[in-house]
Amino acid sequence: GIQVEQSPPDLILQEGANSTLRCNFSDSVNNLQWFHQNPWGQLINLFYIPSGTKQNGRLSATTVATERYSLLYISSSQTTDSGVYFCAVEETSGSRLTFGEGTQLTVNP
């Protein structure tokens, strides 16, 4: 099956700093999604981004499908951005998403 690798595994920032999270995948995909899991375990869908660039407030994401990677940018980070960020991809055979192991982000005040 497809392999999904996220980096870095852990990231510690001071409030106000910017960061870039990376997701590499081993094969062609139909779509890619980014999620944020808060400390209580709730997963929120941030972006549905099979290709191109999208922005939502301080967050933006870019997927370069031909080169098999996606980037999530967080600008002016806040303590509420802390948690685990996952990317998930759908193989071209369709039907299901495969998740990476996540990036644990800690934003300190």
Site string for other proteins, 59-78 (x = CB under 8 A): --------------------
User: Per rule CB under 8 A, is residue 83 in the interface with other proteins?
Assistant: no
Tokens 């990317």 found at: 87
| 59: amino acid identity, one letter | L
Judged by CB under 8 A, the residue of 13, 21, 33, 107 near other proteins is 33
Of 83 and 100, which CB lies nearer to other proteins in the complex structure? 100
Q: How far is the C-alpha of 54 from the C-alpha of 61, rounded, in Å?
A: 5
Cβ count near 95 (within 10 Å):
7
| 16: amino acid identity, one letter | G
User: Per rule CB under 8 A, is residue 27 in the interface with other proteins?
Assistant: no
Q: How far is the C-alpha of 11 from the C-alpha of 33, rounded, in Å?
A: 20
Site for other proteins, rule CB under 8 A? 1, 30-31, 33, 35, 40-45, 48, 86, 88, 90, 93-102
